[in-house]
Structure 1
Amino acid sequence: MINNAEFSKRLQKVIDYYSESASSFAEKVGVQRSSISHILSGRNKPSLEFVLKVLDTFPEVELYWLMNGKGHFPKSISIPKIEKPPTPKKMNQDLFTNSENLDSEIPKNPELKNVEAFQNLNHNISKGKKIDRIVIFYSDGSFSNYEN
């Protein structure tokens, strides 16, 4: 159950955080000024519609914090930790630790057996530019690296 006095304090904190007056806050949220006044004084309980309008208008407000004081205000946004993928050099070392011959990784298509063939595939390459390196990534996570 919502404690009106505590909810009023949290709502006032939101209003103060955004440097709003009660009337400007009401206008932004889309409710009558008297509604804000009655909620702040403890006369009325906030409706679900009012709470949803506040959350929609001010995304930094956390629902559980506003309703029962649990959580944080302003909402702390946590960025998920992304594991750094291994560098191509490291991956290359891992793939060829058994001294495998790189030539065995060259595609079987005779048109793609060397870098010159790759260069001839794309006739739209600007004059004077030369392909320096080609890396092919396979669906199993491995790759082949071809350097000129």
Structure 2
Amino acid sequence: MINNSEFADRLTSIMRFYQLSASAFADKIQVPRSSISHLLSGRNKPSLDFVLKVVKEFNEVELYWLLNGKGTFPKSNTSSTAPEQMIQKPEIISPTVSEVSELDKNALSKKIERIVIFYDDGTFKEYIK
């Protein structure tokens, strides 16, 4: 969950770094100026569209830093919370023969509803049946 006041502080840091007023910042990411005012005051939470516009427009802003304060700003190549480091690798298990037959029975009764692919730039693609 995004903390409104902490998000507002990070937004202020971005504006200071790029030496932009709230209105210039809003113009740069093509959102209404009132949106910035409402976010900075804590009245509103940022939308996904807003967050993606910020990350797309300002190369030095890391998605994870903007959302939850983890990582660095401005972006560095040695960030300890790079997306590929945040993804846990799956544990490989070796089921027994009896477990395999039980897995096969369960797999046959299930159908795939959707597949989601996450990209390293913070975007994703969803495939729905």
Displacement after TM superposition at 1:59 (Å): 1.1
Q: Distance in 1 between matches of 2:77 and 2:51?
A: 20
Displacement after TM superposition at 1:15 (Å): 0.5
Counting only pairs closer than 5 Å after superposition, residues 1-148 of structure 1 correspond to structure 2 as 1-78=1-78
Q: Distance in 2 between matches of 1:30 and 1:58?
A: 13
State which structure, 1 or 2, has the greater radius of gyration over its C-alpha atoms. 1
Q: Distance in 1 between matches of 2:54 and 2:68?
A: 15
Q: Secondary structure at the match of 1:76?
A: coil
**TM-score normalised by L of structure 2:** 0.59
Residues paired across the two proteins, number? 78
**Cα root mean square deviation, aligned:** 0.7
Task: Specify which structure has the bigger relative contact order, considering alpha-carbon pairs within 8 angstroms and separated by 6 or more residues.
Answer: 2
Q: Distance in 2 between matches of 1:22 and 1:43?
A: 15
**TM-score normalised by L of structure 1:** 0.52
Q: Distance in 1 between matches of 2:25 and 2:64?
A: 20
Displacement after TM superposition at 1:72 (Å): 0.2
* % same residue: 67
Q: Secondary structure at the match of 2:75?
A: coil
Gaps spanning 5+ residues in structure 1: where?
Answer: 79-148
